[in-house]
Structure 1
């Protein structure tokens, strides 16, 4: 309230994700003093549209990492992806340099003419639905979708998660 940050931990965060989230929230407070609403730093949305439909009660603004068409949570950035040591994500200036270098390795006309996505589909129903659009023997939606298993990636030395190496497709989801 009034440009101040009050933190209450309800459960342990994944690795140091909470540290980066707090850093991001502090940036928001610095840029928009007294204008940042309540935040709940978790992946899954909680403010159901159904609960507030037809109600005169004001919808509480709640910022979270994810939302979908059934909920009213407001998505805000996951700042941990601008540097998260435990999952080998480097600081943004290094990632940007790697992406630019990766982008120059393959000419546009030589890239796979498919959309590319890699992530954890198990955090929201919309991501699970996205996986239905992957190439199969029966259907070809011009998408290559990959599940990112961070535990496996960690045990194998993060060889398949470098964003600079993912500039092989024409489109990114």
Structure 2
């Protein structure tokens, strides 16, 4: 046991506070490749970063988000306010579109006088929220629609777990990154996949299908 403890004591890891993976697969090819054990909040198919829970599980004071245990309790209480069939029959998203082009593209799917894509999309202004006491950003009050959209930002988004925690169908826009738990979830069981290259039609179809099969 002492010998094992000595070996364990020499084991070194690095945890980097950042979103994008940095241990690229191309740099570690061949039988003698030994990538460093670097832990990060997300990774992708071209990287070897080891994913582990992100900082927001312990709270995110800058956005008035409480630790996960407390936040999950608030979301569960919000879920109790309405049954799924009684919720607004559209796909809901609220976030910052300025961090990624894919989010800016998503805004083209918002309802207009000419188009109805079965979505209700809102821009989250965190600066304004901070001056108004975060009255319109409570996660426990955002489980009011039958469908909620998850879409990446600069990399993977911490919003993922909050969206999945709602008793709403998660419409999951095809991602480039993964965190520590999403690979254990199955499409059409835990979420409905949305095509990234045709978001509007894909979202419209998902909502129409769900509303037509609301009793299932």
TM-score, with structure 2 as normaliser: 0.49
Does the 8 Å contact 1:82/1:90 carry over to 2?
yes
Matched residue, 2:18? 42
Matched residue, 2:191? none
Matched, 1:129 2:75: no
Q: In the comparison of the two structures, how many residue pairs are matched? A: 139
Q: Aligned partners of 2:40 and 2:124: how far apart in 1?
A: 21
Does the 8 Å contact 1:133/1:143 carry over to 2?
no
Matched, 1:91 2:67: yes
Does the 8 Å contact 2:21/2:43 carry over to 1?
yes
What root-mean-square deviation, in Å, do the aligned CA atoms of Structure 1 and Structure 2 show?
3.5
Matched residue, 1:67? 43
Q: Aligned partners of 1:120 and 1:78: how far apart in 2?
A: 19
List, as ranges, runs of 4+ consecutive aligned residues in structure 1 with deviation greater than 6 Å.
none
Larger radius of gyration, structure 1 or 2? 2
5+ long unaligned stretches in structure 2: 1-6, 151-216
Matched, 1:107 2:83: yes
TM-score, with structure 1 as normaliser: 0.58
Q: Aligned partners of 2:30 and 2:93: how far apart in 1?
A: 37
Partner of 1:152: helix, strand, or coil? helix
Q: Aligned partners of 2:54 and 2:69: how far apart in 1?
A: 16
Q: Aligned partners of 1:122 and 1:69: how far apart in 2?
A: 25
Q: Deviations over 1:120-147 (max 9, x none)?
A: 5666xxx64355345245683x555555
Does the 8 Å contact 2:56/2:67 carry over to 1?
no
In structure 2, the CA distance between the partners of 1:171 and 1:56, relative to structure 1 (3 Å rule), is: farther
Q: Deviations over 1:17-71 (max 9, x none)?
A: xxxxxxxxxxxxxxxxx6x842111122212233335685223332112333443
Partner of 2:80: helix, strand, or coil? helix
Deviation of 1:113 (Å): 3.8
In structure 2, the CA distance between the partners of 1:122 and 1:52, relative to structure 1 (3 Å rule), is: farther
In structure 2, the CA distance between the partners of 1:44 and 1:52, relative to structure 1 (3 Å rule), is: same
Deviation of 1:99 (Å): 0.9
